[in-house]
Structure 1
Amino acid sequence: MKIPLSWLRDYIDITLPPAQLIERLTLAGLEVASTRVLGLPIPEGVRVKAEERGPVWDRDKIFVAQILSTEKHPNADKLKLPTVTWGEGTQKLLVTGAPNINVGDKGQKVVLALSGSVLFDGHAAERKLSELKPTTIRGLPSDAMVCSLLELGVSENKEDHTGIILLEDDAPVGMPLADFMGDTVIEVDVLPNTARCLAMIGVAREVAAITGQKLKPLAAGMQTTDEAIAGQVNVQIEDPTLSARYAAALIKNIKLGPAPGWMQRRLLYAGMRPISNIVDITNFVMLEWGQPLHAFDYDILVQRAGGKTPTIIVRPARDGEILVTLDKQERKLSPEHLVIADTKGPIALAGVMGGLETEVTEKTKNILLESASFNFVSIRRTFRHFDLPSEASARFSRGIHPETVKPAVERAADLMRQYAGGSVCKGLVDCYPAPRPPQVVDFKIAEMDRLLGFKIEPAEAIRILQALEYDVAPPPANAGGSPYKVTVPTHRLDVQEGTADLVEDIVRIYGYDRVPTTLLSEPLPKQQANEPIVFEEKVRDILVDCGLQEVVCYALTMPEKETLLLKPQGEYANPGDVPYVTLKNPISSERVVMRQSVLASVLEIAESNLRNTDDVRLFEIGFAYVPLAGRASDGPQLPDEPRRLAIVMTGNRGQEFWEGGGAKEKQLLDFFELKGVIEALTQDLHLKDTTYQPSKAAHLHPGKSATLRAGDRRIGDFGVLHPKVAQAYNLGERTILVAEFDVEALQAATPVRFSYTPVPRFPAALRDIAVVVDEAIPAEQIESEIRIAGGELLGDVKLFDLYRGNQIPAGTKSLAYALSYQAGDRTLADKEIDKAHRKIEDRLKNVLKAVIRGKE
């Protein structure tokens, strides 16, 4: 929300310097994100970003001026020669090509910059300041210029350089422009709990509470004619839960044209472009009160009603209804969308965008002005579905109290009377089926002290509440401990938690910087570790040490993509057949269900990253959301939320490895690189009895995947992603290594306590063994038999070579292992080593029918 201080002063006298005001607002919970200074020197203590700094309008060189006459340039058809004055006894002939100045014009108020002024160069490709110097244009000298919004630094839009700025008729000729238009604009970040500050009046209320100043009287009511609105329009609300209040005013005989200059400047400074008096007035009141408005062409409504009294109906759209909105787009509607309709059909998307047929145009004479309070969830759903965010939907989607509806529409109607020449019909058509009762909170001083941990004087607390426009009724006399009855103002929709919200308001205005530093009066209670979180952090540390990067993905996804991973063989006929937890109010059309696979989310991130790099090593620990079958239909349908670990790796290895063919292939990550990461994880977690079995997961490559088990617990699957799945995720033909593990199972298999073995004092003896076995025998089984036969003397067992080829029988493979023999109390003799080695050879021959290479 951009807040011009000149506009804010309409509602409250600001006595603080800008720097102090910014600091006080931030300390009170209204964070100032940036500051922009227009035409003035930057106030002391105010920080302005370099890209937002503009020219300082020299009080001796830039003035409000008036055109005395305009003549044609003798040497150029598109140039004009206006003669201007900026005070008694001053007169200058200028050269300009502004299209909104014509030959014969006189009397217009303009901005004059004399030679030596520093302004933005309107013709430069980049925004840069330059000094205005005397020049000759088509044979005529020119040492001054009339200025555009772009040159003054008010606008950054190149379109605002096509014409000069024309000031209002009562602009004082000769006044330095800095005094007439100079301003400081602060921009605040409006969070959900400060939505009241999406209005100038809301910000003024905050400043009043902070500074102790009183708000100026607000403009109220509207001057009307004797012609009543009653009988000229009807309003119906089908469902008060979707629209609490709808009020309409009727303004007749309006004249469409530009808004007054002061209003246009305020809209510009607040970040909105002026369009016309009607549109600008609705935008002005929206920024002033925080209440969006919409204007309909009343005569079109009468025409749609067949010449009878039109009826405005606020209702959900009928399935399949069509509305062409102001952007000329055809919108197909459903009952999830709230619409403004008449008896013929929809005429506007409620709170989002009006319809094209009933828009206000140059031909419009009579206007029906809408002001309403809509269900914020419904508005949020509609504008997200159609991707139509706007200033209006931003306010409706945060909630607007019905009591704001009436003063806002009356204010706008009266402005249209003043600046559009309209006649306002007497009264409003105000449909308010269920007025909200005031919210009253029982407020106890003792409870405030308990929540804060320190004391604020009761009189000070009550003063702050009253400054924030709470109505405070003291407890009855002689009623010790009775609460104050505090009535919440209607603009404070964020007050939901009673006393806690009131205490928050009190302390933020009191000043967080005034909260005393206190020591704990009692010892800290014993802290119980959250074991799942501690375990997850340990897993994160291990994976980061392995060179992986953590990502945090959306828990929302699209069924079309995730089902390709869950069932790549097409078991489901279409994505709609997969049971999902579906959102009623999705944030976008691409994120409508809760994910069932964390791996699917990481694959989406990997696809995005692979557009810019060839190397990806990612992991995420997060929740999946799986609907539970068999629940009673009348019971809570809560999903199971298992924690999952997902890993995605692809790219270059960076060093040669034992397995692989040519040099290029050796540089690529493969199944064994991922298996190494898994082994590092299981070893650092001290898992016991880990085994690897062939995986049956459909999304993995057959023969290049495995299932990890720890004892009788299934931890998860890992391996090479199936090529069809990789293509479905737009990952190309590269090898994608993936894993998805059950974190609960992994944690359950991790021992809480484990023993350490001392570093051996005696040297180890190394022996190699190469065996030829049937192709179907997994390497894990061979290693297991080696360890069984090797007994206590056998230490490390490492596979260092794998061979398939013509030198061994077809259907077999050769595996070579490096064995380490070692004893903790002595150096092993050759006889002991030979004996242990023979036992291994014998067991491999007998159990696996292996052939020991070199001993055929």
Structure 2
Amino acid sequence: MKFSYQWLKDLGHFAFSPNQVAELLTLHLAESRVVKSGKFAVLEVDLLPNRVADAGCHLGLTRELLAYEGKKFVYPRIKVKESSEAIDKYLALNHQSNLCNYYSARLIQGVQVKKSPSWLQQRLKDCGLRPINNVVDASNYIMLLTGQPLHVFDYDKLSPILSDSPKREIIIRLAHPHEAITTLDGEILELSTSDLVIADHKQPLALAGIKGGQAAEITQQTQNIVLESANFDGVTVRKTSRLHQLITEASWRFEHNLSPQLAPYSLELLAQLIREVSGGEILAGVLESKKRSSKKNQKNIIPISWSRWSNFLGWSLSQSRIKQILTNLGFSFIERKNYLLITPPEFRNDIICAQDVMGEVARLIGVNNIPLNAPLLTSVLPKENEFWVFKEQFKDWLAAYQLEEVYNYSLISKEVVESVGLNNSSRVIKLANPLSNLFYYLRPSLIFNFLENVQHNLSFRNEVRLFELGKIYQQGTDFSEDEVVGGVLSQRQAVSEDLFLEAKGILEDLLKKFGFSRSDYSFASLNDAWYSSLLKSGAILMINSKPVGVVGISNSTLNNFFDLKNDVVFWEIKLAPWFTEIKAEKYYKPLPKYPAVSRDISFIISSDVLIDNILNAMQSASPELLVDVDLFDVYRDEQMGNKQSLSFHLVFQSPHKTLTKSEVDQELDKIITKLKHLGAIIR
């Protein structure tokens, strides 16, 4: 934003040079620089959005500079000389919309529209505005002075209320359906019924707070003018300006929520200036209307104790110095014994709490002048998030199995859900307002994203090994949002059973790494209806008899949808129950005193029998003495049909004594009996 240095100097009567002004503003307000030197020096200031409403004008910037100098700014006096004739004889207001907080108008008769004086033109040029005529230039000048956008209408172009009456009416309303306006630059805009307009009885005269229309444009023939100064709703102005792609100086200022107090003051300044540069008589009285009590008019009283200042600022500051700075910045206060009751000035709508007030004092003194002191408050480290650490460990260990991490969207397509017939499932959550059919449901499982990953990656490589930590969403009696870890294994020309065993082995190894013993978990048959609709075969992972996840092979329906020729092994584990079991109290056994005895056993059994069922049978046959079981050989052959040969390494050990050969043989016989019940043939 550009500012005239000479204009600032005329208002503040300070002795700063242009470069000194730029340096002061940079240190205390915003990044500033001199962009034009010489007689008509110009400053450019990069104001932050929260300071545009008060410092985005020459009066506001002068107020800041005088505060740095230790002085209080005094506003220019207004002397409006009115005629004896009253305004309400010729003009009326009809305020219909709550989107205008305040509206005021004056009427001047007998003006002469011509070129502006050279000093006025120069001020506008310094700030980047183009001079037009003395009436329009005067309104732009006051806007640059106070920050309040203003507008001027040709009174004689307004439609009379009655055909036989000279009286006109200004109407503040929303645009009618199919209504249009031709702007000052000749552009025709089709208005929305949410657009706020200034109108007469026939047509819109201006887009409120944005731009005027040709219907009441000021020309060389204009003699009688209506001056408008209002406070429009910033959100409405922004929406309308973006809707019509019409961003103006006025709309930009209103978007930053100007103080309603600026409007009446700026109107008086404009009337006085137009009378000076254009002549004419100012009719007596001001038409004003307030549609609602604005929150911006409510006083915000902020109490701050004296002890709080040093704690916040980091150094001691005298009470008199604090009060002087607040006074120079326009704050008012009531002094109590141990604290101040501080009221921000009307033009500072960004001051809402004690930190804002104390920050203003620090800013004025200069944060670069704050002494280097150790913090007064002791720092306390946050408590370690154990669940986050648990997840990071999970990822590190999964990466060690040569699995690559992926991140997928939490939304899946309508087609993939319908392909497996889950679109009518009560567990699937449909978005209330989906963006497209590609993002139609919240994912109830990671498998849908994984299969799409496999489809893309198998086009470039022979093997895909992926994992993801993410969330799945399901609907039961209530909505559930579970954090899960999942993975997929797929390989060209690979045996799906081998990949399944590898995935199962990864899970078992993870269980062991997290401290679970073999008796803590098991793999049960896939009897879950939900996962059965996604997998052609698999097993449910149980920890302490509680289901926590699944491992299996994707079914042909899903494979066909994603055009996959190879089986994909998928697993998915809920992290919360896994973590809960890890956090549970654990009991430790002393190291064994007596030696272990090893035996190997081989047998032929149906391929339909789960390895986990075999392990459970062995463990139940000898629960006290069988301490370890390892599968070390699997043999399959076409001649064996639906059977396989398995070999296990068994370890027996007693905590009380050294086992004899006959005792081990007895335990082995119990195990063989159990295996025969499963259909095993001992070799």
Q: Could you say which TM-score interval applies, normalised by the shorter chain? A: 0.5 to 0.7
Q: Is the 8 A contact 1:325 1:331 kept in 2?
A: no
What are the within-5 Å matches in structure 2 for residues 219-234 of structure 1? 229-230=87-88, 231-234=90-93
| Match among 472, 492, 499 for residue 333 of structure 2 | 472
| Alignment partners' CA distance in 1, 2:248 and 2:556 | 43
Aligned letter for 2:351?
A: V
1:15 to 2:16 alignment = yes
For 2:492, the equivalent position in structure 1 comes to: 661
Aligned letter for 1:751?
A: K
| Alignment partners' CA distance in 1, 2:20 and 2:645 | 76
1:539 to 2:388 alignment = no
For 1:406, the equivalent position in structure 2 comes to: 264
Aligned letter for 2:395?
A: L
For 2:677, the equivalent position in structure 1 comes to: 846
TM superposition shift of 1:385: 8.2
Q: Is the 8 A contact 1:563 1:578 kept in 2?
A: no
Aligned letter for 2:357?
A: L
| Match among 483, 487, 501 for residue 645 of structure 1 | 483
The superposition leaves residues 230-283 of structure 1 with CA deviations (integer Å, 9 ceiling, x where unpaired) of 4334141543xx543223456777679999455244238xxxxx6967988877
TM superposition shift of 1:843: 4.1
| Match among 175, 181, 197 for residue 340 of structure 1 | 197
| Alignment partners' CA distance in 1, 2:102 and 2:669 | 92
TM-score under structure 1 normalisation?
0.53
For 2:583, the equivalent position in structure 1 comes to: 751
| Alignment partners' CA distance in 1, 2:553 and 2:282 | 74
The superposition leaves residues 785-820 of structure 1 with CA deviations (integer Å, 9 ceiling, x where unpaired) of 5665686656575799898x96664xx686978868
For 1:312, the equivalent position in structure 2 comes to: 171
| Alpha-carbon distance change, 331 to 467 in structure 1, aligned in 2, over 3 angstroms | same
| Alignment partners' CA distance in 1, 2:618 and 2:338 | 81
| Alignment partners' CA distance in 1, 2:510 and 2:181 | 58
TM superposition shift of 1:399: 3.1
| Alpha-carbon distance change, 824 to 733 in structure 1, aligned in 2, over 3 angstroms | same
| Match among 345, 351, 371 for residue 495 of structure 1 | 351
For 1:458, the equivalent position in structure 2 comes to: 319
Q: Is the 8 A contact 1:539 1:681 kept in 2?
A: no
- Of 399-408 and 705-714, the range deviating more from structure 2: 705-714
TM superposition shift of 1:464: 1.3
Q: Is the 8 A contact 1:596 1:626 kept in 2?
A: no
TM superposition shift of 1:502: 3.1
| Alpha-carbon distance change, 255 to 310 in structure 1, aligned in 2, over 3 angstroms | farther
- More relative contact order, 1 or 2 (CA 8 Å, 6+ apart): 2
| Alpha-carbon distance change, 572 to 703 in structure 1, aligned in 2, over 3 angstroms | closer
For 2:159, the equivalent position in structure 1 comes to: 302
Aligned letter for 1:373?
A: N
| Alignment partners' CA distance in 2, 1:724 and 1:345 | 64
Q: Which runs of 5+ in 2 are unaligned?
A: none
RMSD of aligned residue pairs (Cα, Å):
6.8
| Match among 41, 44, 53 for residue 185 of structure 1 | 44
Q: Is the 8 A contact 1:697 1:717 kept in 2?
A: no
| Alignment partners' CA distance in 2, 1:405 and 1:11 | 20
TM superposition shift of 1:291: 3.9
The superposition leaves residues 497-555 of structure 1 with CA deviations (integer Å, 9 ceiling, x where unpaired) of 3x55433433443444425625769xx69x69657x442344245436645779899xx
For 1:209, the equivalent position in structure 2 comes to: 67
The superposition leaves residues 201-255 of structure 1 with CA deviations (integer Å, 9 ceiling, x where unpaired) of 445444443443554755867788888654334141543xx54322345677767
Q: Secondary structure at the match of 1:465?
A: helix
Between the aligned residues of both structures, percent identity stands at 20
TM superposition shift of 1:834: 9.7
Q: Is the 8 A contact 1:700 1:720 kept in 2?
A: no
Q: Is the 8 A contact 1:643 1:742 kept in 2?
A: no
| Alignment partners' CA distance in 1, 2:16 and 2:236 | 42
- Of 826-835 and 838-847, the range deviating more from structure 2: 826-835
The superposition leaves residues 450-502 of structure 1 with CA deviations (integer Å, 9 ceiling, x where unpaired) of 66676421101101111211123555xxxxx27545432101223333x5543
Aligned letter for 1:536?
A: W
Q: Is the 8 A contact 2:412 2:442 kept in 1?
A: no
TM superposition shift of 1:750: 3.8
| Alpha-carbon distance change, 442 to 678 in structure 1, aligned in 2, over 3 angstroms | same
TM superposition shift of 1:675: 8.0
| Alignment partners' CA distance in 1, 2:465 and 2:228 | 54
What are the within-5 Å matches in structure 2 for residues 814-853 of structure 1? 843-847=674-678, 849=679
| Alignment partners' CA distance in 1, 2:67 and 2:154 | 41
| Alpha-carbon distance change, 309 to 8 in structure 1, aligned in 2, over 3 angstroms | same
TM superposition shift of 1:837: 8.2
| Alpha-carbon distance change, 560 to 829 in structure 1, aligned in 2, over 3 angstroms | same
| Alignment partners' CA distance in 1, 2:254 and 2:43 | 28
For 1:157, the equivalent position in structure 2 comes to: none
| Alignment partners' CA distance in 1, 2:136 and 2:556 | 56
Q: Is the 8 A contact 1:796 1:819 kept in 2?
A: yes
Q: Secondary structure at the match of 2:101?
A: strand
Q: Is the 8 A contact 1:347 1:358 kept in 2?
A: yes
| Alignment partners' CA distance in 1, 2:342 and 2:20 | 33
| Alpha-carbon distance change, 493 to 186 in structure 1, aligned in 2, over 3 angstroms | closer
Aligned length: 637
| Alpha-carbon distance change, 261 to 504 in structure 1, aligned in 2, over 3 angstroms | closer
TM-score under structure 2 normalisation?
0.64
1:506 to 2:361 alignment = yes
TM superposition shift of 1:765: 8.3
Aligned letter for 1:543?
A: K
